[in-house]
Amino acid sequence: MFKSQFEMFGVGWDGKPHPLLEAHLPADRPIPTLEELAEEANIVLEREFDDGPEVFERSPENTALDLLRLQYAHCECRYFAFALRELTGWPIVLAVEPGGLLCHQLNRDVQGRLVDVTGFVTLEELPGRYRGIELEVREGNNFEGDGDLDDDAVAQVMAAMLYLPHEPFTSLSAQASLWVRHGRIGLDGPWREARCAT
């Protein structure tokens, strides 16, 4: 019984992806276009900011990439951090205000650099994004909100990574593309090569 359950979740006894994994998302699944992702970002941003603060106003001056960066830097940073951890194994860390209020979730790569949707970022650069608030990083976050993420939601974040024209995402694009087409949360697969390569 345990063996059949093990296989049902997509991994064989040898730890390699089970053929069921390949059937989960078809190999010819289309990757969303940048414009489709930007339209979704507009919906998220309008809902989150309710036509509010100066950080977002729906206007032609926001490029599609601007919208993705705003979505994953301000509204859904935890989703982005979860997806990046899923792809690379890089742990999620918290940027918090001195009183402990959570401001941002991002990742720490194997060289100790902080990474979010804007690429590599230093702790000193973050206050410019968050109204000058002084921040500190706390380790050991287990990402409490991952229960509302499913495979398709993570695949959408991975698709957004494909359009980010800076490191580390340009180097991770092959793995992210594989995840969009074949990935399942928590399972190893060919996309995890990034863990060794970076």
Q: Is the pLDDT of residue 181 over 70?
A: yes
- Kindly indicate the confidence band of residue 156, based on its pLDDT and cuts at 50, 70 and 90: very high
What pLDDT, in 10s, does the model give residues 50-73? 644 455 555 567 899 999 998 999
CA distance 26 to 21: 10
What pLDDT, in 10s, does the model give residues 9-22? 444 445 554 444 44
Q: Is 178 left (phi over 0), alpha (psi -120 to 50) or beta?
A: alpha
Q: Which residue has the higher pLDDT, 155 or 99?
A: 155
Domain segments of the chain: what residues?
26-197
> pTM for this one?
0.79
Kindly state the average pLDDT of the residues 76-98: 92
